[in-house]
Amino acid sequence: MTEQRKIDVDAAMRTFTAQTEEHVIAYAQACLRCGQCADACLFYRTSGDPRHTPAYKLVPIQKAYRAAHSPLKWLGLAPKLTEEDLTGWEDLIFDTCTMCGRCTEVCPMGIDIASIIGQARKAWVAAGLGPEDLLAAADTSRDRGSPLGLTPDKLVERVEWLEDDDETEMPIDKEKAEVLLTVSSIEAMKYPESLAAMAKILNHAGVDWTFSTKGYESTNFGYLAGKPDVAKVMVERLVAGAEACGAKIVVIPECGHAYGVFRWSAANILGRELPFEVLHITEYIARLKRAGKLKLKPYDTPFTYHDPCQVSRRGGAAADARYILEGFATKFQEMTPTAEMNWCCGGGGGVQAMGRAAELRNKAFRIKLDQIEATHTKTLISACANCRLTMDESTKYWHWDGELASIVEVIADHLIEEEDA
Ligand code: SF4
Ligand code: SF4
């Protein structure tokens, strides 16, 4: 028998009132109920369930603000957030929002539902709710360094093995370095070649870089799981890694949410400015290309590109991936819609880590698969290991017979080294 969870409504209310930023309050109150966001959301498009409309996901949050701020509260007439609100919306706040931000693109009020959901998750967790596997991933990150148990020792082990296998230098804990290269444990544990690929590109361009055992894990499951204490620990570790080697640039690997959290929220989480620049690996590779430091053989496989939501839409870096592909990938076929209006893979916002969300997420992937099939290509490339993992699972679910690849790995495989020239 499943144990009954104790739900602390007061803790949820305290979290709403204490932690939520003012812009979120404004957003929560600005909704016109026009419904334009419904069709922009992959979950509503898949299920047709009105509960899955982005605006509906805001209802208990709006109620919590009225409960906290309505003048009627002094007369005891303001609405109250209830246990039923919290349990009834739990799946909407967690399982059916990948924080992809697509709804914001069509909202006439520009309401950033993804960031409201991010704030709301903290209140749900304070109340004792939230998917257990997502919460466990956050705790494992805090206790072992990464959600998949990539401890500093395991990182060193992996790096040494990859160095031998790929015959490329992968420095770790250099005293001084211009660039701190970080990893996502999804890559390290499931797609380790991606780490070697980043190393090969940086070495090819003559970059002074290092990994650091002080700060290596760029995913932030504390942020995704609504655990601000864990989110802060994860940010502090990366900053410590960068400060230890005096890095001027921190490069986030192929992971969309890792980039989103560190690029846009880390300074706020930390309460001070970051003393370095933060770039996604595709932004950094584009910079190397602009500086003439990348020599590539043509890539002539027909393929299409999946824009990770947090990189292309919420990160504004869609153009950099295209710039890298320009003149190199001769048979690149864009999806429709693409770039800022891409469809999410279904696994962002921690949804990939929620076992109970798998069925709906796999079904929602049909939208993406229709886009892929319309390009008539059989190779799907992305710049996010979380998207790759999600798409690996969902393409199997739909028996798609194409193959998945990473943009970084494709580039690394097509470098023209001096001995080839
Ligand atoms: S952020 Fe994405 S998943 Fe969440 S409600 Fe908006 S469109 Fe749907
Ligand atoms: S599009 Fe914006 S204003 Fe309209 S219902 Fe959705 S969130 Fe509200």
Q: How far is CA 389 from the centre of its chain?
A: 12
How would DSSP label each residue in 90-110? Answer: HHHHTTT-----HHHHH-TT-
Q: Quick one: angle between helices 59-69 and 9-19, nearest 10? A: 80
Number of H helices, E strands in the chain: 20, 7
> Measured from the CB, is residue 279 less than 6 Å from ligand 2?
no
Please list, in sequence order, all residues whose beta carbon lies within 8 angstroms of the beta carbon of residue 418, skipping any fewer than 6 positions away: none
Mean pLDDT score, 207-225:
97
Task: Tell me the mean pLDDT in the region 394-399.
Answer: 98
pLDDT for residue 66: 82
pLDDT at 420: 66
Q: How many angstroms is it from 59 CA to the middle of ligand 2?
A: 12
pLDDT attached to residue 247 = 98
Mutate to test the pocket of ligand 2, among 33, 56, 61, 97 (most ligand atoms within 8 A of CB): 33
Beta carbons of 169 and 195 less than 8 angstroms apart: no
Rounded Cα–Cα distance for residues 40 and 57 (Å): 14
pLDDT in tens, 196-205: 999 999 999 9
Set out the domains of the chain in order of their start, with CATH numbers: 9-130 (1.10.1060.10), 135-290 (3.40.50), 304-413 (no CATH)
pLDDT score at 19: 64
- To test the pocket of ligand 1, the residue of 102, 116, 390 to mutate (highest count of ligand atoms within 8 Å of its CB) is 102
Do you find a cis peptide bond into 337, omega within 30 degrees of 0? Answer: yes
Query: What is residue 421's predicted lDDT score, i.e. its pLDDT?
Result: 59
Structure-model confidence comparison of residues 25 and 53, the more confident one: 53
Nearest 5°: the CA angle 173, 179, 183 is 70
Ligand 2 pocket residue status of 68, Cβ below 6 Å:
no
Q: Mean pLDDT across the stretch 322-338?
A: 97
Q: Residues near 419 by Cβ (< 8 Å), separated by ≥ 6?
A: none
Q: How far is CA 3 from CA 6, 83, 391, in A?
A: 9, 17, 33
* CA nearest ligand 1 atom 6, residue: 103
Query: What confidence score (pLDDT) does residue 4 get?
Result: 65
CA distance 364 to 44: 9
Given a cut of 70, is residue 113 above it in pLDDT? yes
**Pairing assessment for the beta strands 304-306 and 379-382 based on DSSP bridges:** parallel
Q: Is 169 exposed, middle or buried (0-12, 13-18, 19+ CB in 10 A)?
A: exposed
Positive/negative CA dihedral, 149, 155, 157, 159: positive
pLDDT tier, 370 (very low <50, low <70, confident <90, very high otherwise): very high
pLDDT above 60 for 261: yes
- Residue 401: CB atoms within 10 A of its CB come to 6
Query: What percentage of the chain exceeds 70 in pLDDT?
Result: 97
* Residue 245, Cβ density class (10 Å: 0-12 exposed, 13-18 middle, ≥19 buried): buried
Phi, psi of 86 (to 5 degrees): -70, -45
Positive/negative CA dihedral, 383, 225, 29, 88: positive
Is the pLDDT assigned to residue 38 strictly greater than 80? yes
pLDDT given for residue 283 in this prediction: 98
Index of the ligand 2 atom closest to the CA of residue 36: 1
Contact yes or no for 92/79 (Cβ under 8 A)? no
- Residue 67's pLDDT band (cuts 50, 70, 90): confident
Q: How far is CA 54 from CA 156, 266, 311, 358, in A?
A: 43, 26, 21, 19
Instruction: Confirm or reject: Cβ of 31 under 6 Å from ligand 2.
Output: yes
pLDDT tens figures, 127-158: 999 999 999 999 999 999 999 999 999 999 99
Give φ, ψ of 45 to 5 degrees: -60, -35
* Residues forming a β-bridge with 280: 252
Ligand 1 contact, 99 CB (< 6 A): yes
Alpha-carbon distance 369 to 377, whole Å?
11
Which residues is 172 bridged to in the sheet? 211
306 backbone dihedrals φ, ψ, rounded to 5°: -95, 120
Cα separation, 269 vs 279, in Å, equals 18
Report whether pLDDT(270) > 80.
yes
Read off the pLDDT band of 1 (50, 70, 90).
very low
Lowest mean pLDDT among 218-232, 257-271, 382-396, 407-421: 407-421
SS3 assignment, position 181 = strand
- Residue with the smallest CA separation from ligand 1 atom 2 is 100
Coil vs helix vs strand at 380: strand
Q: Is 102 in the pocket of ligand 1 (CB under 6 A)?
A: yes
Say if residue 63's pLDDT is above 60. Answer: yes
Contacts of 21 (CB under 8 A, 6+ apart): 119
Mean pLDDT (whole number) for 3-9:
80
Does 3 score more than 90 pLDDT?
Answer: no
18-27, 35-44, 136-145, 412-421: least confident range: 18-27
- What average pLDDT score do residues 392-406 get? 97
Q: How far is CA 367 from the centre of its chain?
A: 19
- Model confidence at 164, pLDDT cuts 50, 70, 90, reads very high
Question: Residue 320 — pLDDT band, cuts 50, 70, 90?
Answer: very high
If you average pLDDT over residues 182-194, what whole number do you get?
A: 94
